[in-house]
Amino acid sequence: MTAVLDRPAPAPDTNTPRRAPLRIGPVLWALPPLIIVLVAAVYPLIRVCLESIKLRDGGLGLDTWTSVLGSQAFRSALWRTVAIAVTSTIGCLILGTFLAIVLAFVPFPGSTLVGRVIDTILSLPSFLITLAFTFLYGTAGAVNALISSITGAQTPLLNFLYTPAGVIAAEITFFTPFVIRPLLAAFSLLPRAQLDAAASLGASPLRILRSVIMPEAWPALMAGGSLVLLLTLNEFGIVLFTGAKGVMTLPVLIYTRGIVTFDLPGAAVIAAVQVVLSLALYITYRAIFARVTAGKTQEG
């Protein structure tokens, strides 16, 4: 009996995780933004998807999907959208990288002003660039007037503005700053000592750029490029202003079907495809980015 009385009471199991008390505060704080996202973003997307499967007789089905996806206009617009977006992105990457390198590593008078101008372009609406393009490169624009005054030609020699090339040129002009900004930020983080060390080891400026600078700026370049690809894929203003006559992209096709011909289910199908395209691109970008950064972390 004594033994039983003397037996120490069982110690509390310290290994059992204690359940954290439910706090209502954080939940209340999370509710408003959650509701806003649901109402402003998720609900419209669901409505678009529902609209795309709505039949003329009021029922639900995939007839609209079949007819839209099978149409030549859709396939042509899809191909053109992807082609313009990819070409513009490549152009932005090349031009943006070049300009960022010049701004960061080639000191020249007025470089700060150029930086400010780039920031200004970021704040402008895209169609404004296109409007400027019309005044510059349009058939009655300044460049054609100059060419005519020199060559005496009666018809405008420069006539690319309303072709895919015009759209690409405008998109490159407008979206290049989206590549420049993250690159400049990445370059500013690069220690000066690394460049000095590379130079002292006999590396030429080109080799320093290729072997030291760009590998460090790769995530920024990828982030800028992905952003531009997303934006160009969904670009509407530039295409409408320059290429609407001859260039039909998915956003313009959605506009035409939805607003001009009132084919809302058809427009909803294309919009759904557009959403899937954008999400797929975003997920791919996040996956690649996570892999790159995770790789760096693991290496560390």
List of residues contacting another protein (CB under 8 A): 191, 193-194, 196-204, 207, 211-212, 215-216, 299-300
Q: Which residue lies nearer to another protein by CB, 193 or 260?
A: 193
Is the Cβ of residue 68 or residue 212 nearer to another protein in the bound state?
A: 212
Residue type, 92: C
Minimum separation from the CB atom of position 99 to another protein (A): 23
Q: How far is the CB of 187 from another protein (least distance, A)?
A: 15
Other C-beta atoms within 10 Å of 154: how many?
A: 6
DSSP lists the bridge partners of residue 60 as 54
Contacts of 167 (CB under 8 A, 6+ apart): 84, 88, 238, 239, 242, 243, 247
Of 39, 61, 43, 37, which Cα lies nearest the Cα of 269?
61
Residue (223 or 239) nearer to another protein, CB:
223
User: How far is 10 from 48, CA to CA, in rounded Å?
Assistant: 62
Angle separating helix axes 264-299 and 63-70, nearest 10 degrees? 80
| Contact predicate 265/61, CB 8 Å | no
- From the list 110, 77, 53, 97, the residue with the least C-alpha distance to 233 is 77
Of 128 and 203, nearer to another protein (C-beta) is 203
Measured from the CB atom, the residue of 63 and 216 that comes closer to another protein is 216
Report the nearest approach of another protein to the CB of residue 194 (Å).
5
Smallest distance from the beta carbon of 200 to another protein, in angstroms?
4
Q: Are 252 and 48 in contact (CB under 8 A)?
A: no
Side chain identity, residue 212: V
Of the pair 10, 300, the CB lying nearest another protein is at: 300
Q: Least distance in Å: CB of 193 to another protein?
A: 4
Q: Taking the alpha carbons of 256, 260, 261, 264 in that order, is the dihedral positive or negative? A: positive
